[in-house]
Amino acid sequence: MPLFALLAAAAAVGLDQLVQGQFGVMGLIGLGLLTAGVKAKNLACASFGAVVLVVLVQPLIG
């Protein structure tokens, strides 16, 4: 169990650094809102975080 928690924390830090490096502070805010909304089961917060991430990714898609 502690190994799983350590791996999960390392993955979270890696994802955080990837999002912040590529999309800046707004990417970090969007990811934080999405994560907090899912954990708290708050649809408005999760939706807002998802919209922020989609808006940031949209120029990369086309």
Could you list the residue range(s) of the whole structural domain that residue 49 is in?
2-61
Q: Is the whole-model pTM more than 0.85? A: no
Q: Tell which residue, 22, 15, 32, has the closest CA to residue 56.
A: 22
**pLDDT of the residue at 60:** 78
* Burial bucket for residue 26 (CB in 10 Å: 0-12, 13-18, 19+): middle
Give the residue with greater pLDDT, 52 vs 21: 52
Number of domains in the chain: 1
Q: pLDDT tens across 34-54, in order?
A: 989 999 999 999 999 999 999
Q: pLDDT class for 16, splitting at 50, 70, 90?
A: confident
**The predicted structure's pLDDT at residue 10:** 87
